[in-house]
A and B are shown apart, each in its own frame.
Chain A
Amino acid sequence: MSGKQCFVSVKLISPKYMFITKYIKEVFGAVKSLAIGMKRTIYYFTHHKEIITQEYPDNRDTLVLPERFKGEVVMPHNENNEHRCTGCQACELACPNGTIKVIFKNELTPEGKKKKAIDKLVYHLELCTMCNLCVEACPSDAIKMAQTFEHSVYDRNQLTKILNKPGSKIMEGVE
């Protein structure tokens, strides 16, 4: 066999060998990547301490929400049933969709002048988007956000809340 013939026969054989080695490498690479994935899932199957599920209705007692959580708007009252709302209507103007309505009446101050005071602060929980603009707009820190989130009721009328408690009046010295 001359040298030229050897050359030609080698050229004819090597593409086929390359195809077989490429095929085998593909199969091994595929099986290896699948095995790596399976190792990761079996890790999670056996390590139960990684489970982060909180079993909700059973853990209500230990549930702690952050203090800035925007649940619903409430008006805090102190122990003498007094609040800080002056009836300035800043919250009503700031609210984007008419959730807060201030109903007020005229009162007589001790000096005998007529002054505006609030009668009722009507808050529609069904319309509120919890955007916090009313709390930011209030000049006397009368309202704040509470951390409740279980608002579902059976009767829609229960979602229209009056924020000031009956018989309460404004605290001294708030303007």
Chain B
Amino acid sequence: MWSFRHIANEIHAWLSANFNPTLTLIIEMVLAGVAVIGLFAALGLVLVLMERRVAAWIQIRLGPNRVGPKGLLQSLADTLKLIVKEGLTPDGADKLMFNVAPFIAMIVAMLLMAPIAFAKDFQLWDLNIGVLFVSAVSSLMVISILMAGWSSNNKYSLLGAMRSGAQIVSYELSAGLSILTIVVFTGSLQVSDIIHAQADGWWIFKGHLPVWIAFVIFIIAVTAETNRAPFDLAEAESELTAGFHTEYSGMKFALFFLAEYINVFIVCAIGATLFLGGWMPFHIGNWEGFNRVMDYIPSSIWFFGKTFFLIFVIMWFRWTFPRLRIDQLLNLEWKYLLPISMINLLVATAMAILGWHF
């Protein structure tokens, strides 16, 4: 079948036959960059529409269903609108930092695409510390938020940026500890190793109780990392009128907006890879017939299906729960999530040593 791996191999073979190795490498890097930007654009369109439709159905109403058949062209219309808007720089803002902040957010998002395995053997860069790379690079997001808040010359933006900085730095700890639980079971930080270790069953089924607790903590922590409700007081509309990106309009606001959705996609992709098996199909023990049917479904469909399921769960959280106050949020992290994840890690280590997982 036309799997991604097949297409990648064909392109590589054609390029190395016609050009010398260095030029092949450079052209491949350029192609990868273009593919990532294309993926961003497509994901942005799809996720914005998905968010609005999911929100509408939860709120007993129809979503956008006018522009295009069943509202599918709504995101295009939104993008056009944001492009033609005037990008205003406030008077007294620090011009360099103000203009650079959205680009840093996008750069971080692009870097994080590298170690994710979209399909079988289709990964941009399978480095041996893949999971650590993701955890480290996602911390750089804080820089762009603080830059945006500070350089806007606006009290509201500053308040929002400070709150957001404290929140992201705290929740990285719990997210990191949950990721470590899976690493303890697998024994390797490399993403392809983690996926191959799930060939006989996803970690969420194999490692039982510690992995369930780690999964729940992971979902809560990444919702806080990406500034989504119920932890979205950096952009709380009813309190601070949009927080750290109050002063942004036009294309720069579109970049922040897009970076938020891409971040949600990335953390759900990591969650799907670690806990739900990445591109591994769903096998049940010895049911040969069932397993063969599952194998027919292409691995990229498995990967995107699991990721979008997790994205749906995060959207479900947003439209059900109210916002937490900043001290309640930090309280939750330091007094509840962190102790529980530390104890969970100890239990998981004991289980891995004693071999009590499947």
Asked if residues A44 and B62 are in contact (CB atoms below 8 Å), the reply is no
B319 within 8 Å of A (CB atoms): yes
A153 within 8 Å of B (CB atoms): no
A42 touching B57 in the complex, CB below 8 Å, given contacts A27-B336, A51-B62, A55-B62: no
B3 within 8 Å of A (CB atoms): no
Closest to B65 in A: A55
Q: How far is the CB of B291 from the nearest CB of chain A, in Å? A: 29
Q: How far is the CB of A44 from the nearest CB of chain B, in Å? A: 6
Asked if residues B316 and A38 are in contact (CB atoms below 8 Å), the reply is yes
The CA-CA distance from A53 to B54 in the complex, in Å, is: 15
Asked if residues A44 and B336 are in contact (CB atoms below 8 Å), the reply is no
A113 within 8 Å of B (CB atoms): no
The CA-CA distance from A27 to B62 in the complex, in Å, is: 36
B199 within 8 Å of A (CB atoms): no
Q: How far is the CB of B355 from the nearest CB of chain A, in Å? A: 28
Asked if residues B61 and A51 are in contact (CB atoms below 8 Å), the reply is yes
Interface residue total, chain A, C-beta cutoff 8 A: 15
Q: How far is the CB of A106 from the nearest CB of chain B, in Å? A: 58
**Secondary structure of the A contact surface, majority rule:** helix
Query: What does the 1/0 interface line of A36-59 toward B look like (CB < 8 Å)?
Result: 011011101100101111010000
B96 within 8 Å of A (CB atoms): no
* One of B54, B62, B317 near A45 (C-beta < 8 A): B54
Closest to B62 in A: A53
A34 within 8 Å of B (CB atoms): yes
Interface residues of B in 297-336 (CB under 8 A from A): 316-317, 319-321, 336
| Residues from chain A with Cβ under 8 Å of B340 in the complex | 27
The CA-CA distance from A40 to B54 in the complex, in Å, is: 14
Asked if residues A51 and B319 are in contact (CB atoms below 8 Å), the reply is no
Asked if residues A42 and B60 are in contact (CB atoms below 8 Å), the reply is no
Q: How far is the CB of B57 from the nearest CB of chain A, in Å? A: 5
Chain B contact-residue range equals 10 to 19
Asked if residues B321 and A37 are in contact (CB atoms below 8 Å), the reply is yes
A45 touching B58 in the complex, CB below 8 Å, given contacts A37-B320, A38-B320: yes
Asked if residues B57 and A53 are in contact (CB atoms below 8 Å), the reply is no
| Residues from chain B with Cβ under 8 Å of A48 in the complex | 57
| Residues from chain A with Cβ under 8 Å of B54 in the complex | 45
The CA-CA distance from A41 to B317 in the complex, in Å, is: 10
Q: How far is the CB of B7 from the nearest CB of chain A, in Å? A: 36
| Residues from chain B with Cβ under 8 Å of A53 in the complex | 60-62
Query: What does the 1/0 interface line of A100-114 toward B look like (CB < 8 Å)?
Result: 000000000000000
Closest to B335 in A: A23
The CA-CA distance from A48 to B60 in the complex, in Å, is: 8
* One of A41, A52, A55 near B316 (C-beta < 8 A): A41
Asked if residues B60 and A44 are in contact (CB atoms below 8 Å), the reply is yes
Interface residues of B in 112-143 (CB under 8 A from A): none
Q: How far is the CB of B135 from the nearest CB of chain A, in Å? A: 25
The CA-CA distance from A146 to B239 in the complex, in Å, is: 43
| Residues from chain B with Cβ under 8 Å of A38 in the complex | 316-317, 320
Interface residues of B in 143-194 (CB under 8 A from A): none
| Residues from chain A with Cβ under 8 Å of B317 in the complex | 38
Interface residues of B in 47-62 (CB under 8 A from A): 54, 57-62
Interface residues of B in 192-242 (CB under 8 A from A): none
Query: What does the 1/0 interface line of B55-91 toward A look like (CB < 8 Å)?
Result: 0011111100000000000000000000000000000
Top 5 A-B pairs ranked by shortest CB distance? A41-B320, A53-B61, A41-B58, A45-B58, A45-B57
Given contacts A34-B321, A37-B320, 9 further A-B contacts (CB under 8 A): A34-B320, A37-B321, A41-B58, A41-B320, A50-B60, A51-B60, A52-B60, A53-B60, A53-B62
Q: Which residues of B contact A (CB under 8 A)?
A: 54, 57-62, 316-317, 319-321, 336, 340
18 A-B Cβ contacts within 8 A? Answer: A27-B336, A27-B340, A34-B321, A37-B320, A41-B58, A41-B316, A44-B57, A44-B58, A44-B59, A45-B54, A45-B57, A48-B57, A50-B60, A51-B57, A53-B60, A53-B61, A53-B62, A55-B62
